[in-house]
Structure 1
């Protein structure tokens, strides 16, 4: 049975880094050597999830994956946009010790230097009791316990079994604008109460709330994904780095279309009045066995 990458489901980490790389050297042997060296030097108590853009994965593996694609820029009907910054290689590093997470992040960059160029790297953390910087609990709708595995992983009997499609998207918040609103209005935008994180019901739940737009179904099936987002922030910029693991990219696509108003109802997510997507890319996190096979020289 193929083994999923362990870091996908680690839930007690509180320090994170996501780094995205562009390929600058097409020598397959060098590519495999540089990535393999990272896998051989992982630190204790630090987890690394590695995923590949479609083009790089096709260079390394003959495994064909249904529905695997690059992310394309999305234009919303109501003036919003989600840009594509599709990259080739993605690393998510997580752990409980900020020093160890940083050390591993640096080791990765040094091992890839000359073969890949880092184009985005963001550090994050757990904010208070797992809240976004808006003050609302993040990830409340995540599937619980055993339900997270079928949401995140390709079925074992399919190509790429126990691998996962990954979506990365960086959001920049306008917290000053958001925080000027009364809490009652903020709750209508999110779709949950701020303090207790209780989902609004009935007429209290606006159709343009974030919960309403991302709680998607298709042919009666809930489009659940496994969210592993984290907040980031400094005096310069604050926001959320959205990460989704899914058995099928369509589950992410339908949520993004609903946020943008690109569905029949034409309703867009009000959260985009206060937060702007500045990156976006799909990748594939293969099982441990497929990863080792792809990197074999």
Structure 2
């Protein structure tokens, strides 16, 4: 029997970068498996109630949330359950000049809203139910930059599928019916040498990205550098993913970067893109340091309900 995707059953894996964003990476303490399994059941239930409550309290904030689990977390929390077909440990990718590291992470929270107070409140309430069995590995607060541009000044996401066309690229379908409406999320934290970038002429930057900085028009291929970002990161129209690149910065300490979020129906598509970027020595890698790289599975909302009900950990 054919399984039909239902995008409104998915978590918020669409192109809605948000005005204020919090990325939280957690690790399981792994000191009491039963406690962690009971804790994740309660969190799966409470997290959805918190979203509901906050949308009632602050309807104009446009709160969006996605919660993901890594392969190692899935094995620990749901050892008796089946796994999504493409869920695995990301082990990094290597090219002739650059590499992308793999880093630890068990549970990931992607929370965004127009109002920073709403983001704060959701993270605070979530932490109440997570702190007994997790530790925080990393937290990054992102923001919408001027005109929705990336921190390097270019319009971001031009080549992403439009929201109305995104479902076939972002959510799992018939190929893995038990996990339909879920999504594979790859996260990566980039730190940029902004002094290097800002000393480049605009013409040089255009060729490095593959687009005109101010108009956002794409350059002809012969006018781009051979390792231009939009060449290195493009694996074809049939292999798109939904990207949500978010700037972050502590300007007083001179630390500025981009948090890359890639939601995809197939992890293999994202992995191919990452490999191609290092194989072609994507120009962005020349002035960037990659700090993290982790793959997560983002269950559908009905699967979160099943987790809350203990259905993924049935009693013997």
TM-score (norm 1): 0.91
1:156: how far off?
4.5
1:229 to 2:234 alignment? no
Query: Would you say the 8 A contact 2:90–2:293 is kept in 1?
Result: yes
Larger displacement relative to structure 2 (238-247 or 203-212)? 203-212
1:38 counterpart residue number: 47
Does residue 277 in structure 1 map to residue 294 in structure 2? no
Aligned to 1:99: 117
Q: Distance in 2 between matches of 1:101 and 1:33?
A: 20
Q: What's the offset of the Cα at 1:259?
A: 0.9
Aligned pair count reads 288
2:210 maps to which residue?
Answer: 191
The residue that corresponds to 1:291 in the other structure is 304
Structure 2 CA distance for aligned equivalents of residues 10 and 260 of structure 1: 25
Is residue 95 of structure 2 the alignment partner of residue 76 of structure 1? yes
SS at match of 1:51: strand
Q: Is the 8 A contact 2:17 2:246 kept in 1?
A: no
How big is the shift at 1:6?
4.2
The gaps in structure 2 that reach 5 residues or longer are 56-60, 311-316
2:69 aligns to what? 52
SS at match of 1:140: coil
Measured in 1, the distance between the counterparts of 2:39 and 2:284 equals 43
1:10 deviation in Å? 5.8
Large movers: runs of 4+ above 4 Å: none
Is contact 1:232-1:241 (8 Å) kept? yes
Greater shift, 147-156 or 174-183, is seen at 147-156
- Over 3 Å counting, the alpha-carbon distance change for 1:5 and 1:94 in structure 2 is farther
In the superposition, relative to structure 1, how do residues 157 and 215 fare at CA in structure 2: closer, same or farther (>3 Å)?
Answer: closer
Q: d(CA) in 1 for partners of 2:82 and 2:9?
A: 16
Task: Give 1:287 deviation, angstroms.
Answer: 0.9
Number of the residue aligned with 1:118: 136
**Where does residue 264 of structure 1 map in the other structure?**
none
TM-score for the superposition, normalised by structure 2:
0.86
Larger deviation, residues 188-197 vs 140-149: 140-149
Cα displacement (A) at 1:125:
1.0
Q: CA RMSD in A?
A: 1.8
> How far apart are the structure 2 equivalents of 1:230 and 1:12?
7
* Structure 1 residues 202 and 273: CA distance shift in structure 2, 3 A: closer
Shift in CA distance, 189/12, structure 1 to aligned 2, threshold 3 Å = closer
Does structure 1 retain, via aligned residues, the 8 Å contact 2:14–2:163? Answer: no
More helix by share: 2
